[in-house]
Structure formats: structure tokens, C-alpha cells
Chain A
Amino acid sequence: ESVLTQSPGTLSLSPGERATLSCRASQSVTSRYLAWYQRKPGQALRLLIYGASSRATGIPDRFIGSGSGTDFTLTISRLEPEDFAVYYCQQYGSSPLTFGGGTKVEI
């Protein structure tokens, strides 16, 4: 099983700042099958990034995914007020599907 470790657990930033979220896998992620999701209170998870760096439909270009192998990063170039949320990474290249523990981006 591929264990995903996200860091930091909490990121305290201000609107306009850059956020850098890390996701490290215990084994290489097959074919860069790494996704990032956003969760806001009372809402369903939303797919942001798939294939490590491809933005999902309708996702603003301030969300940037990068990385390969075991190290992946989600960068939010300039935080908007609506970006304060919890972010999860997930690998879908091997069974079982696994998720990171999440990073909370707070003001």
C-alpha cells in the first residue's frame, strides 16, 4: 500500500500569498497518477489536479500541480479568499487507492 504523507498539516497565510503544499508517497506513484482535491465546509470534495499537473475542468490557473515519483507539490500562486480550505492528495495508480492526511490552508 502506498502511504501518502502531506505537509504541513496547517498552513497559515494571507490572501495574495503563495501556498506550497507537499505530498510524499512511500513508493513511486505509477504514471504520475496523483490527484489533488479541495474540501470546503459543507461542500463535496472538488477535483483540482489529476495526472500530477493537469487542471480539472474549470479550475483556475493559479492552482499548479507538479512532481513525479514520490514527491508532489500543489502550489496556489496567489491565494484568493475562497481558497482557504483543506487539500488532499490521492494516488490512483495502484490498489488500494490511498489519500494523504490533508493540509489545511487557513487565514
Chain B
Amino acid sequence: EVHLVESGGGLVQPGRSLRLSCAASGFTFDDYAMHWVRQAPGKGLEWVSGISRDSRTIAYSDSVKGRFTISRDNAKKSQYLQMDSLRVEDTAFYYCAGRRGGDNPFDYWGQGTLVTVSS
């Protein structure tokens, strides 16, 4: 059975940092590009960032570019999201998602971890 489990969320002050992790099991992690998608309270889903299977291709949404850094460790079957210079508008549930490549939908999703940015 496939599992994607996010961790690392919590309450943080504006301007501070947080690092999210996503642990994968039940599928061949190396075969999947991994992404982060977020959903602010009462809002829709927003793609945040993605990383290719070999970490050579990385992309960010304009809203987080320059502040967030995505990475992965295939040996640990995990991906990460380093979030710096956090803003109140970054408050959201952050979901880990995996897809097989550029022309595929997200096959797998985690249940999310809540990040609250507030003073």
C-alpha cells in the first residue's frame, strides 16, 4: 500500500524558517517526480514546487521562488521543502504528491501537514 507521510509543520513567526519532510513507501520512489502542493484555509489547491526523479530539474511557483528550496533523497525515499522567510500568506496545509513524469497527473498524495505563520 502506498503511503506519503508529511511532517514538520507547525506554528512559526513571520520571517522564520521551517523544513517539511515527506516519507514515501509502497512504490518505487526513484521512478517518481515529487511535488509540494498547498491549500490555504478556505482556498483552492496551489502547486508550490516540483523536483525530478534525479533532482536535476526543479521548479517553483512565483509565490515561493527565492524563499523555498525543494530537495529529495532517493536512498531515504524522502523529499523535503525548506521554507525560509515565511510570510503570513504561506499559512496552509502542505501536501506531498508524486507523479511519474511531466505528462502525468499526481498518482499519489499525502494527507498533509499544517503550516501556520503568525506572530
Question: A interface vs B, CB < 8 Å?
Answer: 31, 33, 35, 37, 42-47, 50, 56, 88, 90, 92-93, 95-102
Contact = CB atoms under 8 A, between A and B. Distances in A.
B46 interface: yes
Give the secondary structure class of A's interface: loop
A47 B109 CA distance: 9
A46 B108 CA distance: 7
Closest 4 pairs (CB-CB, A-B): A35-B105, A99-B45, A44-B109, A45-B109
A34 to B, nearest CB: 9
Contacts of A93: 103
A96 B107 contact: no
Interface of B: 4, 35, 37, 44-47, 50, 59, 61-62, 95, 97, 99, 103-112
A96 B106 CA distance: 14
A46 B104 CA distance: 14
Given A45-B106, A92-B99, 11 more contacts: A33-B103, A35-B105, A44-B111, A45-B95, A56-B107, A90-B45, A96-B47, A96-B61, A97-B35, A97-B47, A99-B47
Nearest to A35: B105
A35 B1 CA distance: 22
Contacts of A56: 107
A93 B103 CA distance: 7
A44 B4 contact: yes
